[in-house]
Structure formats: C-alpha cells, structure tokens
A and B are shown apart, each in its own frame.
Chain A
Amino acid sequence: MTITSDNSRTYGYEDLPRLMGLMTGDEKHGPAATSTLDVLWVLYDRVLRVTPERRQDPSRDRFLLSKGHGPMAYYAVLAAKGFVPVEWLPGFGSYDSPLGHHPDRVRVPGAEIGSGSLGHGLPIAVGSALGLRAQGLHDPAIWVLIGDAELDEGSNHEAIAFAGPAGLERLHTVVVDNSSASHALPGGIAARFEAAGWSAVTVDGRDQEALYAACTAPHPGRPHVVVARVEPKST
C-alpha cells in the first residue's frame, strides 16, 4: 500500500476533528461526538507499539477494534498516524472507498480485524494472544476495544471467562462505557471481569492522562481491562 505525500506532515490530537470532518462533511465535528476518540488517541499515540512500517511485523502490538460501528474516530486516528492516506477519508462509505461504515481488515491498512457484528473481537483477541504465546512471542500486547452494550453478547462472556483462568497476561480490553446497554448492572462492568480473574481499572474516558495510566498499569499473570466511562450516549 502506498503511503501518500500527506504523510510527510505530523498530525496531533487537535487535527482529529478536521480529519473526522472529512468523512462526515461536518467541519465542526467535535471530539464529544464520538465515545472512542480519546481512548484511540492515547493507545495509538502512546501505548501501542505499532507503526505503518511494522504492519506485518510478527512482534507488533495488535489493536482489534471490535466496536466497528461509527469508525470515524478510528479512521481519523489511522490517518493521523499514517496507516491510511488522509485522501481516503472524504470517500468514506462510497463504493470505491476502502473505508466502510464498518471496517474491513482486508481493505484497511493497519486494521487487524474487520468488525461490525458485535461480540467478535474479544474471542479473536483471545486466539491471537494464544497464537503469539504458542510461537514464543511473549512481548506483543493484544488490545481489543468493545462497547458497554456490546458486552451483552454472550461470545464476550465466553472470552472473558476463559481468558482470566488461562492467565492471558498480554490480553487487554478497553470497554468504552457510554451507558448504552439495556439491563446493565450499574458499576458492574469491572466487577464482571474481576470475577473472572482479570485486573480491572475504571477511569474517566475523556481524561487522557488517566487513560494512559490505566492502560499501562502492571497486571502480572492476568489479562487487564480498562473501563473508560464517557458521557451517556443519549445526551
């Protein structure tokens, strides 16, 4: 995949609203319009050890976007970090664009999985963690981002219940909690993971320093979940 000339410049967090605006046509598109933006930025800017040049490197960190709905923030971050050309953004969702309303790993450079249907990312992440471990690659971290309502899917519970006792230390989950789940157990997200033997931290999902600290907290012998609470979807 050719990396375009636009890549010669550096993008920062402050550029993301404009990049998202290229997809939505809304130049005023603010960070508050998407629940995942701060988490994605912190991960790609400070946590993940992956670059466009390392996309095929077996020892790269993996980020699996399971919450494939509303991927504009994801595409904006991938563009800002040089995985996809900024020129692709305005074509978002069009027939000739690689960028759909749900991402497709086969078409989006840097996307580790295609997603859209809920509840697929975490089980695949479990398998990726197992696969890296089996090949003696103990260094790469696996990150998967899911939503709080996505957590309703039973497939996620199968993965959570397995990963804790299996001691998948390199597996990390971020649950972006915008209170969109029906029949949610208030305050129960971290408790569910902890009951399965995970390390868990709940933070303000708009506080990038808090997110960074939560994402880099040590968790020997256990998988780790960061519950990132953001403003409710309905507001």
Chain B
Amino acid sequence: MIQILNFISIMIIPILITIILVHGMIKKVNIYEAFVEGAKEGFQTAIRIMPYLIAIFLAIGIFKDSGALNIFIKILSPITKLFGVPSEVLPLAIMRPISGSGSLGILKDLVGTYGPDSFIGRLACTMMGSAETIFYTMAVYFGAVGIKRGRHTLPAALISHIAAIFASVWVCRWVFS
C-alpha cells in the first residue's frame, strides 16, 4: 500500500502534465502559444503576493526570534497537559500553524532527542504530517485576490488544527502503545 502511494506521489505531476499536453494536442490547441500566454500571469501573481509574504514572514520572525513564542508555549503547556497532550510536543503543536520551517526545526529536535521510534517521536511525526501552516496560507491566498475580511476562516481552521492535535494523540496512543 505504502509503495503504491509512494509511487503515485512521484508520478502524479508527470501524469497531470502528460494528460494536459496530450489532450491539448488531440484537440488541436496551439499548446506552445497557450502555455506561454498563461505563464505570463505567473509573474504578476508572484509579485502580487510578495507584500503579503513579507508582512507575514516578518511578524512570524519577530514573534519567534524574540522568544515571545516560547513564553506563549510555557503559559499554555499546563492547560494542554490537562487534556492529555504531552508537554514535549506542545511547542510543535503551537508552531505548526505558524511556521512550516520553524515546526520542521522543532520536529528534527524532538526526533533527535527522543528517537524516531519513541512514543514522543512518533506522535510528533504524526502531528507534523496531519497539519498545515495556517497563517501563511491565509495571508497568501487571501492577499492574492484582495480579500480583506476572512470571516470564519481562521476560527474554523484553528478548530480543525486543535482536532488534529487531539486526533494525533488519540490515534498514536491507540496504535503505538
């Protein structure tokens, strides 16, 4: 099963590209012209999202590097422990929605300290694989089309992230111990 998934995940992009190109040729589209015409938009999009990227990267960097994030984690840790979340993985759980590279760093640290096959190691890996960076995605996707009011996106995303944390703890307890 895993080999199959692995294979698909390597093949998916070439397959998608092949389907698009072959279908274009069959339908007698001038594919080269059409590609170049569409690709022009790429630059505009990248430039359009740049200010939003700078704003969000800056805020995350300052919040993290100043040590504010660590204080925040220390305050939260006794509360989450009540709900059965091991305090070792809490920094990861909190960093995950904020920064992709930051949480990857914490994960490497946890796996290095406790070992990849320990309960903490497995739980941390499960958590990392079951969540995404929320703030960055929101800033970029809404920024790209000029949305100012995100409405219920953030609360719903945070609820979903909390569910991911508890589901990870629950499923790891069930499978690994």
Partners in one complex: no
